[in-house]
Amino acid sequence: MEFREKLQLLRTNMKLSQEELANKLDISRQSITKWENGQSFPDIQNLIQLSEIFRVSIDRLVKENDTCMVSLFCDENYPKQDIRTFLVRAKNNTYAVGENEVLPSKPNSHDFHYVEDDYLYIDSYFGNQKFIGEEGVWIKNNTVWAMNYYGQSLNENFNITFLKEALSHVSVSMPFRGPEFYQKGDYMYQCQVQGDFECFTGEETIYCKQQKVYTCTFHGGIVL
């Protein structure tokens, strides 16, 4: 991402007009217009002031092709911890409890939406015994995180109620599918993840009396 794009993104997210930003810098509105059009570039003093206004380092402001689009959201105003906690709340208010289902966005899809202020969560999947889907998080309509998954029940002992119960125990430390381990009666749920919130792969399995009856693989991370 170029400087001009970052500047416009930061300014609009802070709900500042070009004139309002210009007043903060004590310069003309035309100067802001030229910066955002790529016709000119701010001097070091203005870069320092921009850094202070938007609470973003100068290096992040000026470095082209920096993977910072999501980082701009995930610094002061939208820390990654907030995205994690939002994910947990969203998951516990959608598929796991059968709430907030909306009309299909595609033929034969199942769709769940959950919204809190600037945050939007969407889970959309196809299938039943074998299924595939995608979850995502948006902040002010900008995609910041997503995950794809594919799974299947392996025999008649699979219990979808137990799966949903396990998924409802998702944690902020591992906000992907369910917890690392969950057991109830004859059923045992396990979830293993490699990587971290920014880039991960994983697999969840369910056993009934030590026989594998369900499996699901998933992967995802931060989206730029």
One domain, residues 41 and 91: no
Non-local (6+) Cβ contacts of 7 within 8 A are 32, 35, 36, 50, 61
Domain assignment present for 73: no
Domain assignment present for 74: no
Tens of pLDDT, residue by residue over 54-109, are 877 787 788 765 555 555 555 555 677 789 999 999 999 999 999 999 999 999 99
Tens of pLDDT, residue by residue over 26-49, are 999 999 999 999 899 999 999 988
pLDDT beyond 60 at 214: yes
One domain, residues 102 and 46: no
Domain assignment present for 108: yes
Tens of pLDDT, residue by residue over 165-188, are 999 999 998 999 999 999 999 999
Query: Cβ of 7: how many Cβ atoms within 10 Å?
Result: 19
- Confidence (pTM): 0.70
